[in-house]
Amino acid sequence: MAKYIIKYGRDDRVKYISHLDFVRCFHRAVRRSRLNFEFSQGFNPHPVMMIAQPMPVAVTSECEYMRVGFVTDLDDGEIQSELERAMPPGFKIYGVRRIDGKEIDLTKINKAEYIVQTECDAPFDTERLLSEPELIVPKKTKSGIKNSDIRPHIFELESIGYEDGVQTVRMILSCGSQYNLKPQTVIEAAVKYCDGYDGGFTAVHRKRMFIDDKDIM
């Protein structure tokens, strides 16, 4: 038995699949492959598997991670090939790495980079937004909707293009169990604090996740 970190992503074809549906999809893919899950002990055994920061519905990505146990004698490249063959269209396996112990602790992920495209009549000034000492917006929490200052959780914000009524923005935001800031919340702050900005439909792509500014693998 061995533990592995799997880096994967999804594109527009499957971005509306929920987290639980993805888990079921992955279980079926493993059954279609030459791989065998390691199962937990106890009365109700289940596959040893942990997904870091599950993707929200409608978000695409190239940097998702899971920690999973397999009973196998295949090497990392063979496991990647097996999963690529078994996963349905729309999902991509970017890498597989065997780990010993907790050299990669996915629970410590604390930042993520996003590429965000939003429809608008005119782009908002990212430097203007970052110059605000506070950005108070409603944010959903476990205890309901509360006003929150999201400014400390925006690490980088850069407009990288505006064409045909669509602005493209690169963001690095807090991501993890301590504080998770959604790109849509940043767009809502821009609507509130940037005069004349009317951000509409937003497409979000998660490009990288970090542990203390370091790429995971």
Q: Sort 127 into a burial class: Cβ within 10 Å, 0-12 / 13-18 / 19+.
A: exposed
> Amino acid letter at 4?
Y
- Which residue from 92, 98, 11 is spatially nearest to 59, judged by alpha carbons? 11
Over residues 170-179, the mean pLDDT reads 95
At residue 93, the pLDDT reads: 98
Burial 182-196 (b: 16+ CB within 10 A, else e): bbbbbbbbbbebbee
The CB density around residue 88, as the number of other CB atoms within 10 Å, is 12
pTM value is 0.93
Distances in whole angstroms, Cα of residue 135 to Cα of each of 10, 101, 116, 152, 158:
31, 40, 19, 9, 17
Is the pLDDT reported for residue 141 higher than 80? no
Residue where the block lists tokens 């109700």: 44
Please answer whether residues 66 and 6 qualify as being in contact, where contact means their C-beta atoms are separated by less than 8 angstroms: yes
- Which residue from 112, 114, 122 is spatially nearest to 191, judged by alpha carbons? 122
At residue 1, the pLDDT reads: 75
Is the pLDDT reported for residue 27 higher than 90? yes
Q: Which helix (H) or strand (E) element contains residue 150?
A: none
